[in-house]
Amino acid sequence: MNILILGYGKMGKIISDIAESRGHTIVEKINIENQHLLKDLDPERIDVAIEFSQPDAAFENLSWAISKQIPVVSGTTGWLDRKSEIERMTLSKGSTFFYASNFSIGVNIFFKVNRYLAKLMNEQSDYRVSIEEIHHTEKKDAPSGTAITLAEDIINKIDRIRRWDLVQQVTENEHNIPIVSKRIDPAPGTHVITYHSEIDDLEIKHTAHSRKGFALGAVLVAEWIKDKKGVLSMNDFLSF
């Protein structure tokens, strides 16, 4: 399979290495320094694009791939206020767009556990929920896309909770989820969800040991998505 890498930072390099180790060919590696090469690329040579760039570059990268009918897999966070535009463009062009805030198989199992736990906690009004996430200092957006996904899934399951807030330290609030974001090297990603009451605490946690799990998941999705159409997610890939 011929793969275009859009965003050749640390994640892009790991994705490229894993893709090549699995027998795929990297057509080009695009970053901010050589973005002009996009206009000369032949879309017929590209089976799928994998986009892990920066928040300010994601929309343009994705628009380019979708307009060229190139299936694109994206894991960039911090740009999601325009995600609905990309989804509409995908459907209007008859193209393919796959987005996940986290491609780790373990994290996506964690998402499912989080939704189930939140459903159980809907009737337990004595508990206050909070989220802490820890990433490396090069991560530009806060909270992480994974933390936002976790928070939104809780909001959808617990009737009394209305929104999440990015805070410096946890303060108890019945209707909001406080999210504390920490940037500590070399942490690739830790997410902790805590339900606190006067009687006890209930906590679930996921800790990534390296970026390889995220990168491998992105390559596996790229292999799966090649001949599919529409707006897709990890729920489709994992059949959750």
Active-site residue set: 135, 139
The 3-state DSSP class for residue 173 equals: coil
**How is the beta sheet containing 163-167 ordered, strand by strand?**
163-167, 176-183, 128-135, 190-196, 201-207
Q: Which residue has the tokens 């790991």?
A: 14
How far apart CA 85 and CA 50 sit, in angstroms, is 19
Q: Report CA 188 to chain centroid distance, whole Å.
A: 13
Nearest to 105 by CA among 179, 200, 214, 231: 214
* Residue 101, C-beta contacts closer than 8 angstroms, at least 6 positions apart: 75, 77, 144, 145, 146, 148, 149
Q: Which residue has the tokens 């990297």?
A: 26
Q: Tell me how crowded residue 117 is: count the other CB atoms within 10 A of its CB.
A: 17
